[in-house]
């Protein structure tokens, strides 16, 4: 199943199921369902939503709706840095060394953006960069989750772009500010449930800028795989339904190019992961 958040006309955004090119409002299928995606994820098993529950001939054609960020205000947006070997190698010129521990930072909820929304080139920097990532969405609350139990705590997956302002990122040892500018966390287009997505450690992952392939790898090359990430994070904090985990970006970022190729106004960035779809964002100058 594919869980989305969408708007149609002037109506507020609402949760829906995307099936065969049509969007079915969750409120029509299960009137008792929570009105937010995180609540639906937490209540998923009880709601019993499935293809068999979809009314014949109903739903809205995909081209008549606008897909929004699947979760408007995630409780946590956790992102791991330096988690593909080729990305570590290309980052050494910036003084990066091979990590022996998982390197984590947060993106703030105000950075959330729609899967096809515009990404702002900030007034305060011209060093804007892209980072395609597979994003895991937590489905079951847990603390001290073992590696073996980690798969049971994942609801599903989507595509993300960890948009980064490089000079702000590298001004200090803490990366949060450079990772949290408004509009710099587009993700979606849908949350693909774990049963449909299959093994998250064998998916092709790519990023294009204006049609030019910049990043091209596979999630099998993660240094710390998703189950290790969940086990590690949950030693420190409780993971909750709707939390996002950005699992790392492969090599090919603009900052490592020679010459450096920052994003500029007008650029179109497309990020895709096999089986999860794609997101596409136009870079615009901050007003």
Note the pLDDT tens digit of each residue in 37-71. Answer: 999 999 999 999 988 878 877 899 999 999 999 99
What is the per-residue burial (b if ≥16 Cβ within 10 Å, else e) of 172-182? Answer: eeebeebbbbe
Mean per-residue pLDDT of the chain: 95
Query: How is the chain split into domains, by residue range?
Result: 2-68, 77-285
**Among the listed residues 232, 225, 193, 238, the one whose alpha carbon sits nearest the alpha carbon of residue 75:** 238
Taking a C-beta distance cutoff of 8 angstroms, is the pair 249, 88 a contact?
no
If you average pLDDT over residues 240-249, what whole number do you get?
Answer: 98
Buried b (16+ CB within 10 A) or exposed e, 91-118: beeeebeeeeebebbbbbbebbbbbbbb
- In tens, the pLDDT along 96-154 reads 677 789 999 999 999 999 999 999 999 999 999 999 999 999 999 999 999 999 999 99
CATH code at 77-285: 3.90.850.10
Tell me, what's the pLDDT at 106? 98
Residue 191 has pLDDT above 70, yes or no: yes
Whole-model pTM? 0.96
- At residue 95 the predicted structure's pLDDT band, cuts being 50, 70 and 90, is low
Question: Per-residue pLDDT for 259 more than 80?
Answer: yes
Cis peptide before 189 (omega within 30 of 0): yes
Q: Is the pLDDT of residue 279 over 90?
A: yes
Over residues 202-223, the mean pLDDT reads: 97
The pLDDT of residue 142 is: 98
Q: How far is CA 75 from the centre of its chain?
A: 14
Q: What is the pLDDT of residue 94?
A: 61
| 85: confidence class by pLDDT, cuts 50, 70, 90 | confident
Per-residue pLDDT at 86: 78
Q: What is the DSSP string of the chain?
A: -EEEEEE-TTSPPEEEEEETTEEEEHHHH-TTS-SSHHHHHHTHHHHT--GGGSPTT-SEEGGGSEEE-SSSS-S-EEEEES-BHHHHHHHGGGT----SS-EEEE--GGGEE-TTPPEEE-TT-S-EE--EEEEEEE-S-BSS--TTTGGGGEEEEEEEE--EEHHHHHSSS--HHHH--TT-EEEEEEEEEHHHH--TTS-EEEEEETTEEEEEEEGGGBSS-HHHHHHHHHHHS-B-TT-EEE----S--GGGSSS---B-TT-EEEEEETTTEEEEEEEEE--
β-pair partners for 66: 7
Q: Does pLDDT of 73 surpass 70?
A: yes
pLDDT above 70 for 92: no
pLDDT at 260 over 80: yes
User: What's the rounded mean pLDDT across residues 277-285?
Assistant: 98
pLDDT at position 89 is: 79
pLDDT, position 93: 65
Residue 48 burial (CB count, 10 A): 10
């Amino acid at each position: 199943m594919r869980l989305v958040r969408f708007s149609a006309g002037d109506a507020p955004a609402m949760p829906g199921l995307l099936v065969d090119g049509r969007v079915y409002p969750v409120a029509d299928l299960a009137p008792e369902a929570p009105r937010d995606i995180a609540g639906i994820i937490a209540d998923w098993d009880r709601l019993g939503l499935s293809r068999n529950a979809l009314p014949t001939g109903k739903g809205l054609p995909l081209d008549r709706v606008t897909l929004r960020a699947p979760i408007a205000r995630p409780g946590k947006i956790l992102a791991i840095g330096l988690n593909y070997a080729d990305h570590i190698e290309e980052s050494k010129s910036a003084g990066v060394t091979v990590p022996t521990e998982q390197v984590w930072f947060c993106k703030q909820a105000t950075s959330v953006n729609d899967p096809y929304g515009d990404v702002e080139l900030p007034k305060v920097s011209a060093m804007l960069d892209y980072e395609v990532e597979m994003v895991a969405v937590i489905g079951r609350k847990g603390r001290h989750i073992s590696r073996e139990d980690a798969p049971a705590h994942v609801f599903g997956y989507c595509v993300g772009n960890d948009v980064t302002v490089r000079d702000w990122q590298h001004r200090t040892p803490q990366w949060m500010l450079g990772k949290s500018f408004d509009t710099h966390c587009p993700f979606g287009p849908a949350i693909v449930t774990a049963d449909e997505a299959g093994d998250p450690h064998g998916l092709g992952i790519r990023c294009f800028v204006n049609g030019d392939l910049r990043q091209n790898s596979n999630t099998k090359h993660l240094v710390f795989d998703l189950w290790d990430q969940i086990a590690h994070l949950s030693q420190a904090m409780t993971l909750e339904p709707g939390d996002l985990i950005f699992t790392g970006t492969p090599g090919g970022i603009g900052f490592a190019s020679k010459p450096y190729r920052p994003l500029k106004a007008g650029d179109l960035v497309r990020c895709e992961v096999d089986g999860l779809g794609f997101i596409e964002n136009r870079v615009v100058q901050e007003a």
